[in-house]
A and B are shown apart, each in its own frame.
Chain A
Amino acid sequence: MSTKDPIDLRQDRRQWLMTSATILGASLLPLPPVSAETSQAETAPQPHPAKTAEAKSGARFFTPSQHALVEELSETIIPADSHSGGAKAAKVADYIDQVLRETFDDNQKTLWRDGLRLIDVMSQHYHGKTFVNATPEDRIALLTVLSDHLQMTDLPEVRFFVELKRLTVTGYYTSKIGIHDELEYKGNRILKEYVGCDDQGPASS
């Protein structure tokens, strides 16, 4: 994936979906349809073998390996930097797990299960490794492919990326780290006086 040539996502996904059975094992099949005409209806709720086990109250939505993958995905969306912790430190994967565990929306659950699977299929295709085992640069390169093809909303991996970013952003910026460390939000406290533009004195803490 070092090439600077624009990636043809539709062309590429034919290849990775064809080879995915041997790479990942048949247990992960069936994969979503490949055709460019894939409609949203075709990814509508399908019966899922794991559903009954996860329906138990308190049970996690993600398996441990899925959870590890979501941690790395969310950290790639909002990484730690010199200013503050990232999505992993803010426990965004736990937040997403809760959302998916509690949601009544089976389409959303399916999108996440399929999406996580497709991420690893893609990672194998482009980098020969699972996403968790890929280098940070390779992870960024992979998500960039999806981020650059947002208009292809018929592809489940693109829809998954949008959903991954949405829930990561929501989980991160509603966390302690997001509000206090990253944004240094000054509100939700009692003020003597609101400081407006006219009377902004020297910076005070």
Chain B
Amino acid sequence: MFLLQQFAPAVIVAIIAVMLAVGITRWLSADWAKEIAFAVAVGAGYAAGHVKSTSWPAFPPVDATHWLLFLALGSILIGTFHAIARRHAAFLRSALFGVLLLATLGLLLRPKFKLEWSSIEGSMWIAGLTLVGCMVGWSIDWAIRSQPSRFSLLFLLVLGSGSSVALAFSGSLLLAQLAAVYSGVTFAVIAAGAIAGNVPGRSLVPCLATLFVGLITCGYWYADLPWNSGLLLAVAPASVFVVPSKSTPVRQALIRAAVAAIFAVLAVLLARRASPPIDYY
């Protein structure tokens, strides 16, 4: 009950923020304008949930995990560019997304450079994680545009929820709560899309991919998320590529969600196994 009270406000705030933002798309006719509304919805929705969870942090934040809030807001700009240039400037879109990922990982892991890593070791980590982030972004993008459906992001809702439980077992209720906010935002995009009749666009990719990678990164380096659990969660989005493409869009989305659930459950079990006995909450 205490955990529910702890998690519910942040998730509710995120859902309301996204529902409001997506509701605006009813009054928008241009596709690019609708996509911008989606980008604003996910970025602002996550930011609202983050602030509700922790209060507004100082800028620049002392605690590295609070960069997630500012990066979510920054991703609105990149998402907006994706919406405006959605059929053109593929290279520039990818480059901007890469910059967002590099900034995210650089800022989140800056303390590791100060305390632990040599510049070579740190650069290798950042480069590797940026590649993982690109793969996550590409997977979400593929899921959205290969066979567009209102339920395209269902697999991400499953992975966000799995991450939340795994992070809770890893000792950080805050990161678990932020992952729950992420899931709330994803759920709201699916629900609002279904209500308003909009299919999510690729303007969501920068925010959703960056936050997903950011949460796993924080879980592994600042909480006690086991490496195998984190790795499973990080590679799970790539499972969208192995789903047969001949089925209907809704069926495809459900299969992708089911495959993602296998990864999520395994990640949760590994995090549970690595956790000390839970006997104090």
Interaction A to B: no
Chain A interface residues toward B at CB < 8 A: none
Interface residues of B (CB under 8 A from A): none
